[in-house]
Amino acid sequence: MTHPPQNLRIRPYQDTDADDTWQVFRAAVHGTASRDYSTAQIEAWAPATVDQTRWRQRRSSAHTYIACLETRIAGFSDFTDEGLLDMLFVHPDAGGRGVARALVTHVLQEAAAAGHQRLRVHASLTARPAFERFGFTVDAERQVELRGQHLRNFAMSIRLDS
């Protein structure tokens, strides 16, 4: 198991994190997920511009958590009231050091404390091995259409201890 760096801190999302989380999302998709998806698919997933209002709304309407290394945002994750882990993105500069594990461990604890018995995720090809390491199992393979592109991902889930 990868142990997260000692200076890693997980905290709740604040509205002032909107731009940094967008930058981490873009960097993670273009820098890491690009090994598993075509350029056209990556552009469709994380285009150059975003509807900032919608991005803000989605981050603050979920239970969103930020991973900070010193003062920099290294990654973020969340869960929704519907029991979906919607986002897990780690900046490529901070990849492979246990940041995702720390985030997902925190999200699983918070989701269980909120009364969820199961948490679902739509895992990318890139993230599937990490989710398997965290104990999620594959329920189905999916094809999603995004801005005219078809992307393969996996419906996965994990049972939570209450």
Ligand X SMILES: CC(C)(COP(=O)(O)OP(=O)(O)OC[C@H]1O[C@@H](n2cnc3c(N)ncnc32)[C@H](O)[C@@H]1OP(=O)(O)O)[C@@H](O)C(=O)NCCC(=O)NCCS
Binding site for ligand X (CB under 6 A): 1-2, 28-29, 32-33, 88-90, 95-101, 123-124, 126-127, 129-130, 133
Least distance (Å) between residue 1 CB and ligand X: 4
**Structure token pair of residue 120:** 């679902």
Least distance (Å) between residue 34 CB and ligand X: 9
Residue closer to ligand X, measured from CB, 18 or 151: 151
| Helix, strand counts (H, E) of the chain | 5, 8
Residue closer to ligand X, measured from CB, 134 or 160: 134
CA distance 44 to 30: 11
Distances (CA, A) of 98 to 51, 58, 61, 144, 146: 30, 25, 26, 28, 29
Least distance (Å) between residue 19 CB and ligand X: 18
Q: Give the residue from 151, 124, 154 showing the smallest Cα distance to 137.
A: 154
Residue closer to ligand X, measured from CB, 115 or 150: 150
